[in-house]
Amino acid sequence: MGAAAKASLPRPVTRGAIAAYRRYFDVDLSDVEPALLEEGFDSFDDFFTRPLRAGARPIDSDSRVWVSPCDGALRDSRLIEAGTPIRAKGHEFTLEQLLGDGEAVEAFVGGLATTIYLHPRDYHRVHTPCGGEPAFVRAIPGRLLPVTDAAVERDASLFAKNERAVHMLDTEHGRVAVVMVAAFGVGHISCSYGEVSAHPTQLETLPFDGTLRLDKGDELGKFHLGSTVVLVTPPGWALDTVWRIALDAGEMPSLRMGEKLLVRRRDG
């Protein structure tokens, strides 16, 4: 499916496939540059990974706020406890499994693991929730199992089984991990600030020396079809009240990249 999505087909064929996809998934393209829509896309993958027009996603500039790294449905946000699997709405995994690194876990105990599901209609680029310096990006091999609600209920640990890319950022408040989890049909996950393998066959880590700075809202990577993001934070942060009320009511509210997601706790 990934190879087919990247294939350069005659423009009428590509336009027809995109039009069918837009109708089926009710895709809103009002946040894309009109000139890009007029020009058209060379492949389905170009359409799926389309950039946004300038200003389409305002980034909350409050330093006490960390923003949503992507568009999507907020599945859950849970406290990270030492030695305890993260359990939320059908999924269960340990942080060691998710990050592919047992040594990194201690920094996140007392923080939050927040899960966001990207629907096929969503914008599929992932951004920084806060400013910081990349410590490393890690490509982790795995499967490409579906991550729908039904699939998560059948296999609670699939987030730790699927291919994923871990973006580890050093911030003024500690380390933050943005984990991009692949799914069925995903062509691959690409990194926007470094080169890692598509569909890695073994764990691959690309370190950085602290000289690269990413500001809040800068791009981390793209899903070439798919999937789910898990945002892992250090202690001191709480889910914004609006989202917490929605989750407690059994809802999965829709997020847009750049809007307030987490707030600094007064005791943090």
User: With contact defined as beta carbons under 8 Å apart, do 46 and 222 qualify?
Assistant: no
Of the residues 124, 127, 167, 224, only one is catalytic, namely 127
Enter the pTM of the model.
0.90
pLDDT of 89 reads 59
Sign of the alpha-carbon dihedral angle for 87, 92, 96, 100:
negative
pLDDT of 102 reads 72
Residue 124 annotated in active site = no
pLDDT of 104 reads 78
Of the residues 71, 76, 122, 240, only one is catalytic, namely 71
Backbone angles phi, psi at 179, to 5 degrees: -105, 120
Task: Tell me the pLDDT band of 110, cut-offs 50, 70 and 90.
Answer: very high
What digits encode the pLDDT tens for the residues 88-106? 656 678 888 888 877 778 8
Of the residues 68, 76, 227, 240, only one is catalytic, namely 227
Task: Tell me the pLDDT band of 130, cut-offs 50, 70 and 90.
Answer: very high
Q: What is the mean pLDDT of residues 186-210?
A: 88
Owner of token pair 């729908």: 148
Average pLDDT, the chain: 87
- 260, pLDDT greater than 60: yes
What digits encode the pLDDT tens for the residues 156-165? 566 667 788 9
Residue 26 annotated in active site = no
- Which residues, listed in sequence order, are joined to residue 133 by a DSSP beta bridge? 170
- What is the percentage of the chain residues whose pLDDT exceeds 90? 57
Residue 127 annotated in active site = yes
